[in-house]
């Protein structure tokens, strides 16, 4: 007897291995913020990978250069 479509014979329901399929979690801004804060906390506490603390310090310095100068310029105009 020939089957119709894919059906149960070719891994139709339940995924290829017959087990329940694991659904991926959706990314949300709230989840991204939470993950980022956990990463930053780990770096701050010295639990990060080698060089992460130095890289973060360099990044903060660059941000201060860019936006700190912008703030100083705005303050001089007042």
Q: Which residues of 43-74 are buried (b: 16+ CB within 10 A; e: fewer)?
A: beeeebeeeebeeeeeeeeeeeeeeeeeeeee
Q: CA 16 to CA 14: how far, in whole Å?
A: 7
pLDDT: which is higher, 18 or 69 = 69
14-24 pLDDT per residue, tens: 555 555 566 67
What percentage of residues in the chain have a pLDDT greater than 90?
23
- Domain residue spans of the chain: 51-78
């Amino acid at each position: 007897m020939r089957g119709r479509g894919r059906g149960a014979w070719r891994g139709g329901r339940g995924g290829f291995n017959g087990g329940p399929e694991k659904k991926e979690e959706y990314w949300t801004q709230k989840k991204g913020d939470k993950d980022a804060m956990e990463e930053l906390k780990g770096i701050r506490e010295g639990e990060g990978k080698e060089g992460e603390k130095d890289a973060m310090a360099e990044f903060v310095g660059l941000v201060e250069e860019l936006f700190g100068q912008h703030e100083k310029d705005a303050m001089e105009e007042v």
